[in-house]
Amino acid sequence: MNIKDYLDSTYLKTAEQAGVSEKETNQIIHDFVQEAIEEKYKLVMLRPDNVAFAKKQIEKAQSKVCIGTVIGFPEGTSSIEEKISEAIQAIKDGVDELDFVINFEAFKLGDIDLVKQEVLQGTKLAVTHHKKIKWIIEIAALNGAQIIQLTSLIKNVVVANFTEKDFEHVFIKSSTGFYQTADGSPNGATIAAIIAMLENAFPLQVKASGGIKTKEEAIEMIKLGVKRIGTSAAKSISDGILISEKY
């Protein structure tokens, strides 16, 4: 089993966050996409305004690399309407997968109906357009009980409103990687959180994202049962590494 089949190679920094110019950012994106084409990663994950650019580059190379983007990123607090509009534009630009940041703040405040509607409408848009969708729950902003509750909520909405053939196209994802924790603790995937997600997401799949930098960490997540790994370190993880069938 090739570890590259699990990797969502990710670059989500703005020019300001990276401390470079817009021109330099364009070159970074080009090189990033080219690496994914050459390495044959599963997918490149980019901000929405880079989707059309990546699509042209991938088509020109006649590559099978998929394109993913983030919706409502990174806070997740934009309205359902704003998120749907952003996703529709990404679909027009040629995106294959949509990673929605769920409104985890609304969830924490008890606005469960809003969160359910968001899951329902976002998932409907994705499956109607034959796109995969991943719901980012931002585990660093949640306690253990909330991780279980929000994972279960998403699973229950999908199971109640969609068909079995749709389930494989819906993921629950751990993190944006951009959340600022108050105490400086890790803001990405942790073993405990991933186990809780896996135990409560089935029949939906789980994507581990945020802070995964080494092949050992990636293998550990795959052994637990995650089907996709979001990482900005895809090259260092994948170089020469094949996972045996026992994993």
CATH value at residue 122: 3.20.20.70
Q: Which residues of the chain have pLDDT under 70?
A: 240-247
The verdict on whether 207 is a catalytic residue reads: yes
Task: Give the per-residue pLDDT at 84.
Answer: 98
231: helix, strand or coil: strand
Domain count, the chain: 1
The whole model's pTM is what? 0.95
Question: Count of alpha carbons within 13 Å of 163, Cβ hemisphere only?
Answer: 3
Say if strands 97-101 and 170-173 run parallel, antiparallel, or are unpaired: unpaired
Residue 245 lies in a domain: no
Quick check: 3 and 241 in contact, CB under 8 A?
yes
- Is 99 designated active site? yes
Active-site residue identified among 99, 131, 132, 134: 99
Q: Does residue 247 lie in a domain region? A: no
- Domain of residue 63 covers 3-238
Choose, from 42, 131, 132, 207, the residue flagged as catalytic: 207
108: closest CA among 144, 72, 141, 80? 141
Name the residue among 163, 161, 218, 160 with its Cα closest to residue 189: 218
Asked if the structure places residue 228 within a domain, the reply is yes
243 in a structural domain:
no
What pLDDT, on the 0 to 100 scale, is given for residue 69? 98
Tell me, what's the pLDDT at 241? 52
Confidence (pLDDT) at 184: 80
Confirm whether 222 is domain-assigned: yes
